[in-house]
Structure 1
């Protein structure tokens, strides 16, 4: 007798399973952005008294509990919907509805900010064109891309992520070159221990962690593709954990290098 899972997979309304492990990780990293620390580096460096790399190390460990929870939940409830599905199944219809709308607002606001930043950045490169025109163009292109299909969106997403990784690699190579030729502008361990003049402060590091965790927003979106991934919920769970670990390594590495290139924090 066919199982419930088999019958649901064969149903006409079932989503098409076309995303592999790489596609899931790419989606997660696109939501996070590999160079997310760039926007908050100054604030984190000042808040943590220079221990910015330690801040991201602690933030990665803290977010690992969330990632592990998602990995477990996607195995128990292998349906699309992510936190909406988990809250509905675990707490009931009411909490599920609230969680779903909160997640919806999250997925509306994050792209809105990204569109606005894109418009501002493109206007800086081509000032003859209004930032609102660039913003509208970004909305139209991404909308058409998503209407094209999840597989096409995954291919384009992989290309965009590859360009972001290239930019990050250029920064890493340039930073290492400068450090080899001119040395660090602060102690080699200071990104992990804090500035010698200010001393290590647990409260300062935890204050920085509360900001740094915002850099990880979006990796949980991988769980939304539970019904579009090949390999089932187990592959989605592994993608969630791998994406967080990879993001953590990228964040710690770039914040460590950037700290060494900056003068001692004056926070």
Structure 2
């Protein structure tokens, strides 16, 4: 028996299965991107804290960069037919240890963004219930209830989650498109224009913060590959779903955020946002769609964020499941439920993790919108930009070494351009971190302080965890090390 034939090394039989098509997977990942959360949460903050009325253009910039990245990602999904996504691809291209680094960076990304949205969701629920005459209940209590509900759905078969996400996604997209139509038909506050896309608008203010919030709104699209084992005809389904997600998200966000600027006029919109960024979308809906729009967005903003955290929960549960199958997490996390065919232990683990984080934020008395949502969305965006840049390098190296894909555009040009865009985005986001978290110097000017450094340190600590764990496994469990990231790369 060879080393690779050892029971400790053979691929695990504990695999997921299903028949998700392009539409179902697109619903899953676009729900993670959460269109209404992006338009109601990220867009107002992007205008207020970022580059003002030029924020809609950053959705276009983000879409172009991520589409270039997706070309290489689609090629890799065909030649590395494994469900581990980032950490598997990096493992194949750059070796096992670096693959494990990618795994922990992915865990940081999705855990941070999920925690961010749970904070926003708890805040919106608290305000909504109080406005309807209900009791004044703190935001984190609502967040914990939502975590429990997501846990129940995540425990069951993926088809149930995809159906729930599909219904909620159609409703929220329909409402936003109704607002866009109303703004266009009425001509907005002061006429329709392309002011948000003019170069002077795009580079105004703090474009790094704007880019962070724009790219954060796409997080989740790249998770199409994680559903490979549950996809129907994955060689075609996964690439198509990835392209459809990026193009759909980018076009929708740019159009909807442009409509928000036009709704109040380029000269006045920032003043309206500054009054209360958390209720800006509700105020705009009320103005253009009346009571129906106001009530609808109140309800759908809650369901949209619920859909978002449900989708991220499913993604994290499957990442942990893949890591456990590769020997990078406890074996029990790789278990598949005999009836629901879900990674139920991994799902329960993620439910507990999310609950602990929300309790910690509550103890620290963090503001759910300006701190929990903004800070951790920033961490997640920086982490995923670095992670995708690393994946781009791995794709270029792997395809060059194996010669499995000789198309220059797919194997070199597009991934290299995507790498440049992602590296530049990561640098810009990191440079503007103090603006985002509110760190200032003695004169009140933005400057790196304790909060900025602490949050940025997370993107360094998690890679170190990956390298340390890889070294430990290699020294203590050499046969398991061979199995890491399910790769036989050196």
TM range (shorter): 0.7 to 0.9
| 8 A Cα contact 2:195 2:201, kept in partner | no
1:172 touches 1:254 (CA, 8 Å); kept in 2?
yes
Equivalent residue number for residue 250 of structure 2: 248
**Structure 2 runs not aligned, ≥5 long:** 1-11, 271-490
1:16-61 alpha-carbon deviations (Å, 9 max, x no partner): 1321111110011011111314323345446446333333222211
Question: Could you tell me which residue of structure 2 aligns to residue 121 of structure 1?
Answer: 124
Aligned-partner Cα distance in 2 for 1:42–1:159: 25
- SS in structure 1 opposite 2:53? coil
Bigger Cα displacement from structure 2, 11-20 vs 90-99: 11-20
State the partner residue of 2:100: 97
Which structure has the larger Rg?
2
SS in 2 for 1:264: coil
Contact 1:48–1:205 (CA<8 Å) still a contact in 2? Answer: yes
Aligned length: 250
Give yes or no for the alignment of 1:185 onto 2:190: yes
* Paired residues of 1:74 and 1:223 also in contact (CA < 8 A): yes
DSSP-derived class of the 2:223 partner: helix
- Which protein, 1 or 2, shows the higher relative CO under an 8 Å CA cutoff with sep ≥ 6? 1
Structure 2 CA distance for partners of 1:164 and 1:262, relative to 1, 3 Å: same
Who is 2:30 aligned against?
A: 29
Match of 2:259, SS state, is helix
What CA distance in whole angstroms lies between the structure 2 residues aligned with 1:52 and 1:135? 29
* Mean CA deviation greater in 183-192 or 149-158: 183-192
Distance change (3 Å), C-alpha of 1:211 and 1:137: closer
Q: What's 1:167 paired with? A: 175
With the length of structure 2 as denominator, give the TM-score of the two structures: 0.47
Kindly indicate whether the alpha-carbon contact (under 8 Å) linking 1:71 and 1:237 is maintained by their aligned counterparts in 2.
yes
Given candidates 237, 241, 244, the residue that maps to 2:239 is: 237
Q: Which moved more, 1:52-61 or 1:229-238?
A: 52-61
Identify the residue that residue 383 of structure 2 maps to in structure 1: none
SS in 1 for 2:217: helix
- My pick for the range that moved more, 216-225 or 65-74, is 65-74
Aligned to 1:257: 259
Between stretches 21-30 and 39-48, larger displacement belongs to: 39-48
Partner of 1:16: 17
CA distance in 1, matches of 2:110, 2:94: 22
Query: In the superposition, relative to structure 1, how do residues 115 and 205 fare at CA in structure 2: closer, same or farther (>3 Å)?
Result: closer
Conserved? CA contact 2:28–2:162, under 8 Å: yes
Question: What aligned pairs does 1:67-216 form with structure 2 within 5 A after superposition?
Answer: 67-127=70-130, 128=135, 129-179=137-187, 183-185=188-190, 188-193=193-198, 199=200, 207=208, 208-216=210-218
Aligned-residue CA RMSD in angstroms?
Answer: 2.5
- The Cα offsets for residues 66-119 of structure 1, whole Å up to 9 and x where unpaired, read as 222221221121211110111111111101111101111222222222222222
Looking at structure 2, the residues matched to 152 and 143 of structure 1 have their Cα atoms a distance apart, in angstroms, of 13
Structure 1 length normalisation: TM-score? 0.83
| 1:135-167 deviation digits (Å, cap 9, x = unpaired) | 121111111101111111111111221222132
